[in-house]
Amino acid sequence: MPPGTDKSSARGTVTAVRGAALDVAFEGGTLPAIDEAVTVRTRGGDTIVAEVQAHLDASSVRCIALEPTTGLSRGSEAEAAGGAVTTPVGESVLGRLLTVTGELGDKGPALAPDTPRWPIHRAPPALAAQNGATDLFRTGIKVIDLLTPMAQGGKAAMFGGAGVGKTVLVMELIHAMVAGYRGISVFAGIGERSREGHEMLLDMRESGVLDRTVLVYGQMNEPPGARWRVPMTALTVAEYFRDAQQRNVLLLMDNIFRFVQAGAEVSGLLARLPSRVGYQPTLASEVAALQERIASVGDAAITAIQAVYVPADDFTDPAVTTIAAHVDSMVVLSRQMAAEGMYPAIDPIASSSVLLDPLIVGEDHARMATDVRRMIEHYRELQDVISLLGMEELGAQDRRMVERARRLQRFLTQPFTVTEAFTGTPGKSVSIADTIAGCRAILDGECDDWAESSLFMVGTLEEARAKETAARNAGAAGGTQAA
């Protein structure tokens, strides 16, 4: 079903094709509105969906194609759809893979003709109708639950450069929430590699969660218009479940930076002057138009978890700072920790959450998070001294703090379910009570005589204790045999 339903829509002719940018002249001076869909028919009979982005004069518009323009030429017929691009929503799309225009991408059976369709451009909920997000969203990942707690109906973003584990972390969150989270999941693949999309579909099918999930993809090989609008399509699907069915929705987006990047490409195609660092001048309004639609309304909420690529590990990049201004929880991934094998490579100092407040998480949790951060920060301050002069030059108190900080860092590592096939170690999910108890034991000195390796890549402190006991027994047995 094509976008829009207005049968009296204006007709026009393509006058210029510049890659994904099309100029269309309309008869009679009736121009489609900005963001309205236009359907263009190629000489071969195929149709291409485009979106109006500028009015050039009284009779022509400039559009951005949401599909490849191969085979399109001047003189092709165009028709305004009478409204924005629409996407199918509701129960029918659960377990399916959609494209930016709402077409099926999984080669499955066609949707029923009566499947409802919503426009992808929608106003955010009124501020008076929104609810504050304070109900914690438990992930089972120790460092996230302790230092950067997430909220139902909140927005969390994972910032990191290339190769530090953003996609793996998003995949693990999907797995971690299968058991404890029974709502609807919507996954938006923005500029994803085709391999990643295929793996995600197979993984969800094997884990049995596909029947509660909608996958929406605008892949890396697609035009910038598709990558630019695919988060809007995914968000519209999520809004239907929230507003029409009052169901909680988990919205996962990987990668939001590619949404910004696609916007910059579109801006160039529209001949707009670039702004800071070459980004589009509309960067702030484009990010806001997406992020402000993610909210809790009534008894239902959209909880968003977003991966954000940080170009050249520069956290002052305009795209990164613009996205960071909208999120409640910032999970910052560290290249140095990834190089040391500390996975998840989450920086405990740079990461933050507005929910880490005693009134929300409780006095015990907030105090423990502060103590853990203080200990690790003190260790980092002493690292230059240690690297130059060695541990022997530190005072007894500083040496003890460094040893405990190193044990804390190792205890906050955790094996993931999605990496089990590569590491051979089963994934672990840890409650926040066990995480706090383990950190308290390390800070109180109960583990001072343990090997650091006993705390590395374990779940609870009891698992670490069992690992330490086994290592000691093995050492004692080896010593007896040597004697």
Residues known to be catalytic: 166, 192-193
Please provide residue 179's backbone torsions phi and psi, each rounded to the nearest 5 degrees: -75, -45
CA-based end-to-end distance of the chain: 81
Q: Give CA–CA dist 228/118, Å, rounded.
A: 18
Contact present, 31 and 59 (Cβ < 8 Å): yes
Contact present, 196 and 171 (Cβ < 8 Å): no
Q: Give CA–CA dist 87/264, Å, rounded.
A: 24
| Angle 155-218-277 from CA coordinates, rounded to 5° | 70
Residue 341 zone, left/alpha/beta (φ > 0; ψ -120 to 50; rest): left
Residue 252 zone, left/alpha/beta (φ > 0; ψ -120 to 50; rest): beta
The DSSP output letter for 450 is S
Q: Give CA–CA dist 82/80, Å, rounded.
A: 6
Quote the tokens at residue 363. Answer: 């006095």
Q: Give CA–CA dist 150/310, Å, rounded.
A: 21
Q: Is 471 helix (H, G, I), strand (E, B) or coil?
A: helix
Q: Give CA–CA dist 113/132, Å, rounded.
A: 38
Residues whose CB is less than 8 angstroms from the CB of residue 290 and which lie 6 or more positions away in sequence, other chains included: 231, 232, 235, 259
Name the nearest CA neighbour of 116 among 293, 243, 210.
Answer: 243
Q: Give CA–CA dist 251/164, Å, rounded.
A: 22
Q: Looking at 138-295, which runs of residues are DSSP E strands?
A: 150-151, 155-160, 184-190, 213-218, 249-254
Contact present, 48 and 65 (Cβ < 8 Å): yes
